[in-house]
Amino acid sequence: DAKTTQPNSMESNEEEPVHLPCNHSTISGTDYIHWYRQLPSQGPEYVIHGLTSNVNNRMASLAIAEDRKSSTLILHRATLRDAAVYYCILRTPGNTPLVFGKGTRLSVIA
C-alpha cells in the first residue's frame, strides 16, 4: 500500500469546522482513500472513503484533490465527541487489509 503523511496533531474549537489534511503523493490510479478514527479506549471506526470524486456522509465530507495526491477530511462542526485519532489510509484493490499509520490526534476545545 502507498504511504500517507498526516500532521501528528491538530486542535479545533467546538462548533467550528475542522479540515484534516492527508498527503499521498505516490497514490496509484486505483487506490481508494479511506478514513477511520479511533476514539479514546475504543477500536477504530470507519468514517468515509472515496476514489476520485468528493464524498459526503452523515459523519464527514471527503475532498479529494484533482491530481489525487492529497485529500482533506472535513468535519463540519466539531464536537467534543469528535476528539480522536484520525487515520488516512490508502487501499489497493484486491484482497488487501487496512494498513494504519500514526494518524492525526484531534483535540476539540470547548
Partner 1 sequence: ETGVTQTPRHLVMGMTNKKSLKCEQHLGHNAMYWYKQSAKKPLELMFVYNFKEQTENNSVPSRFSPECPNSSHLFLHLHTLQPEDSALYLCASSQNGVTYNEQFFGPGTRLTVL
Residue ranges in contact with partner 1 by CB under 8 A = 32, 34, 36, 41-46, 49, 91-103
Cβ distance to partner 1 smaller for residue 67 or 94: 94
Minimal distance, residue 77 CB to partner 1, in Å: 23
Cβ distance to partner 1 smaller for residue 8 or 110: 8
Minimal distance, residue 59 CB to partner 1, in Å: 12
Minimal distance, residue 90 CB to partner 1, in Å: 10
Beta strand pairing status for 9-13 and 104-109? parallel
Q: Which of 91, 39, 37, 42 is nearest to 60 (CA)?
A: 37
Q: Count other Cβ atoms within 10 Å, centred on residue 64.
A: 20
Q: Which of 7, 24, 5 is nearest to 105 (CA)?
A: 7
Cβ distance to partner 1 smaller for residue 18 or 33: 33
Cβ distance to partner 1 smaller for residue 3 or 77: 3
CA separation for the pair 43, 86 (Å, rounded): 12
Q: Are 86 and 35 a contacting pair, CB within 8 Å? A: yes
Minimal distance, residue 91 CB to partner 1, in Å: 5
